[in-house]
A = this chain, B = another copy of it.
Amino acid sequence: MIEDKIIRIRSFNRYYTSVIGLLDKQYLNSEFSLTEARIMYELNHHPDGMTAKAIIELLDLDKGYLSRMLQSFEKRKLIEKRQSAYDKRSFYLHLSQKGSAEFSKLNNASVQQLTELLASFTEKEVNELTGHMDAIRNILEKSATKKHD
């Protein structure tokens, strides 16, 4: 029965919301908010530079909100802007060396956190876990339009 499946999916979503929430708490200790970390992740993932527009679409942020966060990044020397020669309205954004270093710290902390969490599982369990995750993604992305890393 489909109703039953929906109940299970919603239950999983509630459950996984709390899992993600728990993992995201690490940003409380850092000098970056979760959203800032996501922006840095995208910038790091696009070393050739990306526009504010692209970040907005990827992360579904308000452009005014993002604009201010990028200003704050600039003040902190975490990013560099380079105006596009072809479209002077837009700017290519890059992590600076400092920004890359800060991102690495965040990233390492995140890996460390998950490493500790996974320590209580067997290798077989971890393999199964990632297998199920990949499978969910494959199913959902079959119909979805959105693209991800």
Where the two chains meet, the residues of A that have a C-beta atom closer than 8 Å to any C-beta of B are 2-3, 5-6, 8-21, 23, 38, 41, 60, 110-111, 114-115, 118, 120-121, 123, 125-130, 132-137, 139-140, 142-143, 146, 148-149
Contact = CB atoms under 8 A, between A and B. Distances in A.
Interface of A, secondary structure class, is helix
A12 B140 contact: no
B137 A15 contact: yes
Identical subunits present: 2
Contacts of A41: 14
A96 to B, nearest CB: 23
A135 B58 CA distance: 29
B8 A133 contact: yes
